[in-house]
């Protein structure tokens, strides 16, 4: 899973030593990697901390819509697969928290920011998973969009982030394929199953396109992020790529993409597609998504309910130390 | 006879962007000398752009005798691999 940078603090200003800044810009322009102990502009550190932690939060919150279906998966095979996928998402969250920590923000601060509602995560997880077909659509579309976003990030300029992305991308392919396999089964099943598949595509198509973030003309820090190689492609470029590879996959399933304006454009060698409802996107970013409150409540409850485990582990370690000292 | 200096494990980043990799160890009385020895022992031919040294005694390792039980659960879960899923050849980019 992935989220584009959602929280913006206005225009980023550089109030740095110009010599250090020039040297940094030259390194990044030469496609060198920046490592935790290297000098970096504060704005670079802040932007990355925000982006990596939001990405981590998205992995963690992303477990909820799918975890919701583990007990109801239609066979033992599907249950084992879904369990493994949700487990992967937890792992991805941990890789990313580790990468973010190298920038000087503690795990505790990040978790606190998520639970207090201060930190953002991908808008996609604030939509409900109503039927089993949604689990197929999430793997196919949501993980597909995530892969589209994450593949170029394997060459992002911050070393620990890039290396986390390499590991994540390697694991992500199974997520998309298991989802598409569910869609194949549903689309070729009973008429009712096919209807469920179409309904899932109808509900997840537009939110998946929104995963790439606001349009380029409304993404004021894109230029700086591209120059610093934090981003390697713009939101609109990645969105176009996603549409171009996904539409034929929908056609193969015999499903209809819910966009009357969708049409192949021979000249540009890609699809034209309809206007995205950006009002809905910004409302979900503000925390008004259909199940935003439920997600945060589940997250906080999981944290609070796990408190005794963390305390017990600490108590055990304290006792062991005491015994060792004695 | 004096005892050996403590052992330090050495990790080298071979080039920018790659992770540090374990290459071996050195004996040294302190961290600073451990770095110096590591440089002389393991990077005489431009093997790296960054070095880490970690006191060997601080490394906690899994028990090789337990490796079977420890890693078996991953062995049986072949559905974690993308090739487990049958996707028709005509479907591209997936």
Q: Where are the domains of chain B?
A: 2-60
pLDDT at A12 over 60: no
**Yes or no, beta carbons of A249 and B93 under 8 Å apart:** yes
In chain A, which residues touch B (CB < 8 A)?
32-33, 35, 77, 80-81, 84, 88, 144, 159, 162-163, 171, 173-174, 176-178, 180-181, 184, 245, 248-249, 252
Selected residue of A29, A177, A246 to mutate for chain B interface (largest B Cβ count, 10 A): A177
Contacts of A167 (CB under 8 A, 6+ apart): A95
**What pLDDT sits at residue A7?**
58
pLDDT (0 to 100) of residue B46: 86
Give the pLDDT band (50/70/90) at residue A5: low
Nearest to A173 among B13, B82, B92 (CB): B82
Q: Which residues contact A260 (CB under 8 A, 6 or more apart)?
A: A274
Tens of pLDDT along A141-185?
Answer: 999 999 999 999 999 999 999 999 999 999 998 999 999 999 999
- Contact at CB, B94 and A163, closer than 8 angstroms: no
Q: Give tens-digit pLDDT for B21-64.
A: 999 999 999 999 999 999 999 998 889 999 999 999 999 999 98
Mean pLDDT over residues A223-242, rounded? 94
ipTM: 0.79
Contact A35 B93 (CB under 8 A): no
Q: Do A249 and B86 touch (CB under 8 A)?
A: no
Q: Which residues contact A121 (CB under 8 A, 6 or more apart)?
A: A3, A6, A54, A57, A58, A60, A61, A62, A114
The mean predicted confidence, pLDDT, of chain B is 91
- pLDDT greater at residue A13 or residue A319: A319
Give the model confidence (pLDDT) of A280-317 as tens digits: 999 999 999 999 999 999 999 999 999 999 999 999 99
The pLDDT value given to residue A13: 58
- The pLDDT assigned to B72 comes to 85
pLDDT at site A16: 82
Mean model confidence pLDDT for chain A: 94
DSSP state of B5: P
Residue A11 pLDDT greater than 80, yes or no: no
Q: Which two tokens stand for residue B65?
A: 């005798």
DSSP B22-82: EEEEEE-SSHHHHHHHHHHHH-TTS--SEEEEEEGGG-----GGGHHHHHHHHHT-GGGSG
pLDDT of res. B64: 87
Pairwise pLDDT comparison (A93 vs B73), residue with the higher score: A93
* Cβ contacts of B91 on chain A, cutoff 8 Å: 180, 248-249, 252
CATH number for the B2-60 domain, one of 3.55.10.10, 3.90.1150.10, 3.40.50.920, 3.10.20.520? 3.10.20.520
- Least CB–CB distance from A159: residue in B17, B85, B88: B17
The first and second tokens of residue A210, run together, are 């929104």
**If you count residue pairs, one on A and one on B, with CB atoms under 8 Å apart, how many are there?**
58
Identify the pLDDT of residue A271: 98
For residue B73, what pLDDT is reported? 80
pLDDT band at A76 (very low <50, low <70, confident <90, very high): very high
User: Would you call A199 exposed, middle or buried from its count of C-beta atoms within 10 A (0-12, 13-18, 19+)?
Assistant: middle
Q: How confident is the model at residue A234 (pLDDT cuts 50, 70, 90)?
A: very high
Residue B76 pLDDT exceeds 70: yes
Which of chain A's residues have a Cβ under 8 Å away from the Cβ of B50?
35
Question: Quick one: average pLDDT of A6-26?
Answer: 76
B8 in Cβ contact with B38 (< 8 Å): yes
A159–B82 C-beta distance less than 8 A: no
Dist. CA A230–CA A225, nearest whole Å: 5
- The one-character DSSP state at A97 is H
Average pLDDT for residues A53-73, to the nearest whole number? 96
pLDDT of B92 over the 60 cut = yes
Across the range A214-219, mean pLDDT stands at 91
Whether this model's pTM surpasses 0.80: yes
**What is the average per-residue pLDDT within A124-130?**
97
- pLDDT tier, B3 (very low <50, low <70, confident <90, very high otherwise): confident
| B 44-73: CB under 8 A from A | 50
- Check residue A6 and give its pLDDT: 63
Between A5 and A109, the higher pLDDT residue: A109
């Amino acid at each position: 899973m992935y989220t584009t940078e959602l929280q913006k603090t206005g225009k980023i200003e550089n109030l740095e030593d110009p010599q250090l800044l020039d040297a940094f810009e030259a390194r990044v322009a030469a496609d060198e990697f920046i490592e935790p102990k290297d000098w970096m502009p504060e704005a670079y550190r802040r932007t990355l901390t925000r982006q990596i932690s939001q990405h981590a939060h998205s992995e963690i919150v992303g477990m909820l819509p799918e975890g919701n279906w583990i007990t109801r998966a239609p066979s033992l095979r599907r249950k084992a697969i879904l369990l493994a996928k949700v487990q992967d998402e937890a792992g991805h969250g941990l890789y990313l928290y580790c990468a973010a920590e190298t920038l000087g923000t503690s795990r505790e601060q990040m978790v606190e920011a998520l639970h207090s509602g201060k930190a953002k995560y991908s808008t996609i997880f604030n939509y409900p998973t109503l039927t089993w077909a949604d689990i197929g659509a999430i793997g196919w579309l949501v993980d597909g969009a995530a892969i589209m976003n994450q593949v170029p990030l394997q060459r992002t300029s911050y070393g620990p982030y890039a290396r986390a992305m390499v590991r994540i991308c390697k694991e992500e392919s199974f997520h998309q394929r298991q989802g598409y396999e569910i869609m194949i089964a549903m689309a070729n099943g009973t008429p009712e199953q096919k209807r469920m598949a179409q309904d899932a595509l109808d509900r997840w198509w537009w939110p998946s396109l929104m995963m790439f973030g606001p349009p380029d003309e409304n993404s004021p820090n894109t230029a700086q992020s591209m120059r610093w190689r934090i981003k390697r492609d713009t939101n609109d470029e990645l969105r176009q790529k996603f549409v171009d590879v996904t539409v034929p996959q929908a056609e193969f399933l015999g499903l209809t993409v819910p966009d009357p304006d969708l049409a192949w454009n021979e000249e540009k060698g890609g699809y034209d597609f309809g206007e995205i409802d950006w009002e809905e996107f910004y409302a979900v970013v503000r925390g008004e998504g259909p199940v935003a409150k439920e997600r945060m409540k589940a997250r906080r409850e999981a944290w609070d309910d796990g408190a005794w485990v963390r305390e017990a582990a600490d108590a055990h370690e304290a006792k062991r130390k005491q015994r060792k000292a004695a | 006879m004096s005892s050996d200096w403590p052992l330090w494990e050495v990790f080298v980043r071979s080039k920018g962007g790659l992770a540090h990799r374990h290459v071996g160890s050195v004996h040294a009385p302190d961290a600073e000398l451990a770095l110096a020895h590591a440089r002389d022992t393991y990077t005489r031919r431009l093997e790296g752009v960054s070095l880490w040294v970690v006191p060997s005694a601080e490394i906690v390792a899994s028990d090789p005798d337990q490796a079977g039980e420890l890693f078996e659960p991953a062995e049986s879960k072949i559905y974690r691999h993308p090739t487990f899923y049958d996707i028709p050849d005509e479907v591209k980019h997936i």
